[in-house]
Structure 1
Amino acid sequence: DALRSFDLAPRHLSLLTYVLFDGPLTVNELARRLEVAPTTVSLMIGDLSRQGVLERRTDDNDRRRTLVAIADAHRKAVADWLGGADRGWRAALGPLTAEQRALVIATLRAYEEAVSAG
């Protein structure tokens, strides 16, 4: 309920999952993982930043880099929204080979594209 007004879509789920479970990431790292253009990720981050869900932080180890993180005020709501996804995904994908994981991810992306298009 805390995130209902943000109109989050499936594409946000993937981005927020990476940031929640892997910690703050750069736009380029997120783009590589999501397999989309950095400009696409920048647009999503900009939208979520304006709503206060995400925030940009300077990397303490390299002051030239900007990291994207979930805003502290929304961390619990995002974690609740994702539920036990981390445990579920780790249990489901952990035993698979890299090729098997890639097939599962490609299938899920094809599904997401089909749902988003219609």
Structure 2
Amino acid sequence: MSSVDESIRTLLLLMPRMVGRTKRMKVPDELAGMNLAPRHLSLFAYLLFDGPLGVNELAERLEVTPATVSLMVGELSRKGVLDRGEDPADRRRAIVSLADAHRDAIDGWLARSARAWRQALEPLTDEQRELFLKTLTTYEAAL
């Protein structure tokens, strides 16, 4: 078993490589030139996995203000990546979804990371996965 210091050293060397590889993931051709950032990937992942969501729900999940989400959604809607409609049950509430024309490209883009995470997490027990996720969440909060 490695010491805490050895583990920290390993992670300090590993994390920049992981981030670098993630940044080098090729943006699908149809989304190239749209100045997409990691925050957009998180937005896309929520909409892909959870389906259409309200602006306030997205803001809560992304841990940003509703105004920030509205700006992101407005920009991506103008580019045709997202659809923004009104909730039939409450016309004041905007519902955001991935545009059908870009859904496959976004799914393919996120699938590579999902496959890598699946390869890393599947061999673990439920308890080990829970500990891993808790550890990453604790690390993020400490930053």
Q: Give the TM-score category using the shorter length.
A: 0.7 to 0.9
Which of the pair has the greater relative contact order for Cα pairs under 8 Å at 6+ separation?
Answer: 1
Tell me the C-alpha RMSD between the 2 structures: 2.8
Compute the TM-score of the two structures, normalised by the length of structure 1: 0.74
Task: Please identify the structure whose Cα radius of gyration is greater.
Answer: 2
Asked if 1:39 is matched to 2:67, the reply is: yes
Kept in 2, the 8 Å contact 1:21–1:86? The answer is no
1:77-92 equivalences in 2 (<5 Å): 77-86=105-114, 89=117, 92=121
Counterparts of 2:142 and 2:37, CA distance in 1: 15
Asked if 1:25 is matched to 2:53, the reply is: yes
Unaligned runs of 5+ in 1: 112-118
Unaligned runs of 5+ in 2: 1-28
2:133 aligns to what?
101
Compute the TM-score of the two structures, normalised by the length of structure 2: 0.63
Paired positions, count? 109
Q: 1:39 to 1:3 in 2, by over 3 A?
A: same
Q: 1:79 to 1:106 in 2, by over 3 A?
A: farther
Shift of 1:7: 1.8
Counterparts of 1:106 and 1:86, CA distance in 2: 21
Asked if 1:11 is matched to 2:54, the reply is: no
